[in-house]
Amino acid sequence: MNNGNIVIERLFAVSPEKVWSAISDKDEMKAWYFNLAEFKAEPGFSFGFSGGPDGGIQYLHLCEVTEAIPQKQLTYSWRYDGYPGISFVSFELSEQEGKTLLRLTHSGIGSFPETNPDLAINNFKEGWNAIINTSLKDYLEKKYPQ
């Protein structure tokens, strides 16, 4: 049985401060992540956005920041309006010789209804791989060319 956890690590050739800004500033986030109406990297801050498969159901994501340690860690809950289950998304940053190792963990995916194929763990794996390894990578490389 799947425990419903995803872990993705990527080394970026920029400082933790620059990666932190990309994952915590709503204006930067809309360039590579989701276009959030508002976002604050502060525990207790709630935010939401719609998203889903192209041509399919668009789900209202309801999230709340649970931990924010600048340049180190950002964690928020992730659930869907009208559906049972709750998961947590965590971005952990660590400096490595002038670069930043980002470790994304999305835990608790197994709490979502198994009967809904849109909420299958493989969809989350594909989504996070594209978000971290393509969208965020391309955004940082364009903003901070080597």
In a domain, 1, yes or no: no
In a domain, 49, yes or no: yes
CATH of the domain at 100: 3.30.530.20
The answer to whether 104 and 128 are in contact (CB under 8 A) is yes
In a domain, 37, yes or no: yes
- Boundaries of domain holding 126: 6-143
What region does 21 belong to: left with phi over 0, alpha with psi -120 to 50, or beta? alpha
Whether 1 has a pLDDT exceeding 60, the answer reads: no
- Overall number of domains in the chain: 1
In a domain, 97, yes or no: yes
Q: Read off the pLDDT of residues 68-106 as tens digits, 9 standing for 90 and up.
A: 999 999 999 999 999 999 999 999 999 999 999 999 999
In a domain, 87, yes or no: yes
Three-state SS for 84? coil
Average pLDDT over residues 126-138: 97
